Amino acid sequence: MVVSREEKERIARVKLQQIYENSNAKERVALGKTLGFRGSNRSIRNSVQRLATRGRTRGNIRPGLFGTINRSYGALSGKGGRLENKELGNIGTGDKIKITNNFKPYVLPFQDIWNRTSPSLLLDSNFRISAFVACVIEEEPIFEIKEFAIYTDETSKDFVKLVESLQDRVDDLFKPIRDRKYQGLTQTSFGMIRAVAFSREGALEMKEYFEELTQFNLEVPTQINGDFGVTLTSVRQLRNPENPKKLLPRVYV
Q: What is the pLDDT of residue 81?
A: 75
**Do residues 112 and 196 share a domain?**
yes
Q: What is the pLDDT of residue 187?
A: 45
How far apart are alpha carbons 216 and 225 in whole angstroms? 25
**Do residues 50 and 164 share a domain?**
no
Q: Which of 74, 93, 211, 240 is nearest to 143 (CA)?
A: 211
* pLDDT tier for residue 183 given thresholds of 50, 70 and 90: low
Domain boundary among 57, 85, 113: 85
**Do residues 80 and 99 share a domain?**
no
Q: Which of 181, 178, 177 is nearest to 165 (CA)?
A: 181
What are the pLDDT digits (tens) for 125-141? Answer: 999 999 999 999 998 88
Note whether residue 125 is domain-resident.
yes
How far apart are alpha carbons 76 and 50 in whole angstroms? 21
**How many percent of the chain have pLDDT more than 70?**
91
Q: What is the pLDDT of residue 35?
A: 92
**Do residues 63 and 115 share a domain?**
no
What are the pLDDT digits (tens) for 200-220? Answer: 999 999 999 999 999 999 999
Note whether residue 70 is domain-resident.
yes
Cα 135 to Cα 131, 155, 192, 230: the distances in Å are 12, 25, 10, 14
β-pairing verdict for 106-107 and 239-240: unpaired
Q: Is the model's pLDDT at 185 over the cut of 60?
A: no
- To the nearest whole number, what is the mean pLDDT of the chain? 87
Q: What is the mean pLDDT of residues 150-177?
A: 93
Contact 229, 141 (CB under 8 A): no
Q: Which amino acid is at 73?
A: Y
**Do residues 55 and 105 share a domain?**
no
Q: Which domain holds residue 73?
A: 5-85
What are the pLDDT digits (tens) for 32-79? Answer: 999 999 999 999 999 998 888 755 555 688 889 899 998 888 888 877
* Number of compact structural domains in the chain: 2
